[in-house]
Amino acid sequence: MIDPEVLATPRLVLRELVPQDLDFVATMLANPDVSRHYERHFTRDDAEVWIDRQIERYRRDGHGLWLVEERPSGAPVGQVGLALQEVEGMIEPEVGWLLDRSYWGRGFATEAARAVRDAAFRRWRYPKVISLIRPENAPSQRVAHRIGMTPGRRVNFHSFAHIVFAVAAPAETARRYTANLSGSQRSPSSEGDAM
């Protein structure tokens, strides 16, 4: 049985990935346009590992990349979510998005990323979220700007230069997060993947 939705927007539903999503994920990741800004091209086996990694993130962190489905058809359009990344020795919550090529240009990435950003602040109480974006990836930079992020420092992430886009939570959310901080550090995926 497929897990219930995690988030919803006017046009989209975000839900946890399950092994039955392999055909879609493998096809999407195999498209060279989709994987252009990753360090490699993805095989079907890579896609299976990718799904397993997200399932582990759901268990460990309470979030990860989710499958995005179009309403009301239920057609999968991509993945958008919240993943903890290690950036220069610090654990940072990253809003990430990756859409199937046939769904580019419809505003789905922005719509889903905005919902994930809001959930990161309200549900998970993160004081800030980032997005790691390659300098040549202009479309993703536009999405980051649309969800209120601003570009900051450049970092080396998976052997490539990335710009760290970031946006802070509203002041009240950040204060509650700081007040409830237990001092425990979460660790990122040991796989060290880009998403």
Give me the number of domains the chain comprises: 1
pLDDT for position 179: 57
Q: Report the CATH number that the domain containing residue 150 is assigned in CATH.
A: 3.40.630.30
Please, are residues 99 and 77 in contact by the beta-carbon 8 Å criterion? yes
Structural domain contains residue 191: no
Identify which of 35, 132, 137, 36 has the alpha carbon closest to the alpha carbon of residue 88. 132
Two structure tokens written together for 146: 């649309």
Q: The whole model's pTM is what?
A: 0.85
Contacts 24+ apart (CB under 8 A), 112-115: 112/7, 112/9, 112/12, 112/14, 112/68, 112/78, 112/80, 113/80, 113/143, 113/147, 114/9, 114/146, 114/147, 115/7, 115/8, 115/9, 115/12, 115/14
pLDDT 10s digits, 121-170: 999 999 999 999 999 999 999 999 999 999 999 999 988 999 999 999 98
Two structure tokens written together for 177: 């997060």
Structural domain contains residue 65: yes
Structural domain contains residue 40: yes
Helix (H) or strand (E) segment spanning residue 152? strand 150-157
Structural domain contains residue 192: no
Segments forming the whole domain that contains residue 55? 5-180
Structural domain contains residue 186: no
pLDDT for position 186: 47
Alpha-carbon distance of 105 to 124, in angstroms, equals: 29
pLDDT for position 175: 60
Alpha-carbon distance of 52 to 57, in angstroms, equals: 9
SS3 123: coil
Structural domain contains residue 194: no
Mark the ranges of the chain whose per-residue pLDDT is less than 50. Answer: 1, 3, 182-193
Structural domain contains residue 76: yes
Structural domain contains residue 20: yes
